[in-house]
Structure 1
Amino acid sequence: MSERQPRLTRADFRVFRAIPTRWHDNDAFGHVNNVVYYGWFDTAVNAWLIENGFLDLAGSEVVGLVVETGCTYFESVAFPETVEAGIAVERLGNSSVTYRIGIFRQGGDQAAAQGRFTHVYVERASQKPVPIPTPLKAALAVIQS
């Protein structure tokens, strides 16, 4: 088993997105279920890609497929909180990018949970890996830490 990663702070991230929790996010233990965090990771990354013109859900010929993800939890979050998802690029390769994701209580400085999210870029029709498009790679470099 690997050592637990140090708890990250807001300073470790470059972009933030507010995400409201929903009533059905809570589980029987009264906190947001662990699977919901992975949805927040996906939402934070893909919203950034869409808003910056790098992803058209219906038309992009090159898309990022998730090949690896993981999460470490430090404290519980529960409905009706709003969380803030922070993203930064941890590793930028030729055809893949690994994002660092932090989930923060609104206004909190330390991550309540943090993880990784890796996309491999493929040509949509063939599903074969391709280099990350140049404009996207340049934008990812800006949020790399």
Structure 2
Amino acid sequence: MQRAEPRRREDYRLFRPLQTRWADNDAYGHMNNVVHYALFDTAINGWLIEKGLLDIHRGKVVGLVVETGCNYFSEMAFPDRVTAGIAVTRIGTSSVTYRIGLFRGDDVIEAAQGRFTHVYVDRESRRPQPLDARWRTILEEISL
């Protein structure tokens, strides 16, 4: 298995500021790995909500995570400010794969690089729903 190389800020299309919390630090004094996933989810879903693509309370379509992963390159800890860089790497019929880079403070090299694949499904039936033209247009704005 080949280890991923850290990317730079210019490798991303969209940026979202995030803040670490006191509870994010683990017994070793750095941010616990599960927090990275929470930051990925927060960055992506916050953007989708702001763009009007996702209505977490009343929307007919919800995104389910079907695949995820993370490569860690350097430590982060509270009280670090974090910027999440987001890019879409694949748009399928009902799925989207996102790449997320977490940048500590003003660093230009990511501290962690994650990937999430969401399948968008009907809230009730949980059956995949094709992405409409509006979704595709907005997702293409941050596609690589």
Q: TM-score range by the shorter chain?
A: over 0.9
Instruction: Please report how far the alpha carbon of residue 133 of structure 1 lies from its aligned counterpart in structure 2 after TM superposition.
Output: 2.5
CA distance in 1, matches of 2:132, 2:113: 27
Cα deviations across residues 94-121 of structure 1 (Å, max 9, x unaligned)? 1100000000012111000001011001
Partner of residue 102, structure 1: 101
**Aligned partner letter, 2:98:** Y
Which secondary structure does the structure 2 equivalent of 1:101 belong to? strand
Partner of residue 38, structure 1: 37
TM-score, normalised to structure 2's length?
A: 0.97
TM-score, normalised to structure 1's length?
A: 0.97
**Aligned partner letter, 2:143:** Q
CA distance in 2, matches of 1:46, 1:66: 11
Runs of 5+ in structure 2 lacking a partner?
A: none
Q: Percent identity?
A: 57
What's the Cα RMSD here?
A: 0.8
Instruction: Please report how far the alpha carbon of residue 142 of structure 1 lies from its aligned counterpart in structure 2 after TM superposition.
Output: 1.1
Partner of residue 83, structure 2: 84
Aligned residues: 144
Partner of residue 61, structure 1: 60
**Aligned partner letter, 1:82:** R
Query: Structure 1 runs of 4+ off > 2 angstroms?
Result: none
CA distance in 2, matches of 1:57, 1:64: 9
Partner of residue 8, structure 2: 9
Runs of 5+ in structure 1 lacking a partner?
A: none
